[in-house]
Amino acid sequence: LTPQDLAGLMVLVTAGPTREPLDPVRYLTNRSSGKMGYALARAAAQRGARVVLVSGPTGLTPPPEVQLVPVETAQEMYEQVLQYGSGAAVVIKAAAVADYRPLQLSDQKIKKKDTQLTVQLTQNPDILAELGRRKAQGQILVGFAAETCNLQKNALDKLHRKNLDLLVANDVTLPGAGFDGDTNQVRIFGSQGQEESLPLMNKHKVAHGILDRVSRLYHSRVGG
Ligand code: PMT
Evaluate: CB of 95 within 6 angstroms of ligand 1.
yes
Complex ipTM > 0.85:
yes
pLDDT of residue 1: 83
pLDDT digits (tens, 9 = 90+) for 27-59: 999 999 999 999 999 999 999 999 999 999 999
Per DSSP, the three-state class of 101 is strand
85 Cβ closer than 6 Å to some ligand 1 atom: no
Residue 94 CA: nearest ligand 1 atom is 14
pLDDT band at 223 (very low <50, low <70, confident <90, very high): confident
For Cα atoms 24, 28, 32, give the angle at the middle one, nearest 5 degrees.
125
Q: Whose CA is nearest to atom 5 of ligand 1?
A: 179
Q: How far is the CA of 224 from the centre of ligand 1 (A)?
A: 31
Confidence at 224, pLDDT banded by 50, 70, 90:
low
**Candidate of 19, 32, 140 to mutate for ligand 1, largest count of ligand atoms within 8 Å of Cβ:** 32
Give the number of the atom of ligand 1 that is nearest the alpha carbon of residue 145.
21
For residue 176, give every residue at least 6 positions away whose Cβ sits within 8 Å of its Cβ, in sequence order, or none. Answer: 183, 184, 185, 200
Please give the pLDDT value at position 132: 97
DSSP-assigned beta bridge partners for residue 167: 143, 189
Q: Is 5 annotated as a binding residue?
A: no
For residue range 140-177, what is the model confidence (pLDDT) as tens digits? 999 999 999 999 999 999 999 999 999 999 999 999 99
- As a whole number, mean pLDDT of residues 205-212 equals 98
Instruction: Single out the residue of 167, 171, 174, 157 nearest to residue 190, CA to CA.
Output: 167
Spatial distance between the Cα atoms of 17 and 6, rounded to a whole number of angstroms:
27
If you count them, how many residues does the chain have?
224
Q: Quick check: CB of 39 below 6 Å from ligand 1?
A: no
- Whether the CB of 182 sits within 6 Å of ligand 1: no
Distance 166 CA to ligand 1 centre (A): 14
Q: Which helix (H) or strand (E) holds 121?
A: strand 121-123
Report whether residue 170 contacts ligand 1, using a CB cutoff of 6 Å. Answer: yes
Per-residue confidence (pLDDT) for residue 138, from 0 to 100: 94
CATH numbers and ranges of domains, the chain? 10-99+123-222 (3.40.50.10300)
> Cα–Cα distance between 67 and 84 in angstroms, integer?
11
Q: Which ranges in 86-150 belong to alpha helices (H)? A: 127-134
219 three-state secondary structure: helix
Q: What is the mean pLDDT of the chain?
A: 97
- Whole-number Å distance between alpha carbons of 28 and 52: 26
Mutate to test the pocket of ligand 1, among 13, 58, 134, 144 (most ligand atoms within 8 A of CB): 144
Query: CA Rg, the chain, in Å?
Result: 18
Closest CA to 11 of 138, 170, 139: 139
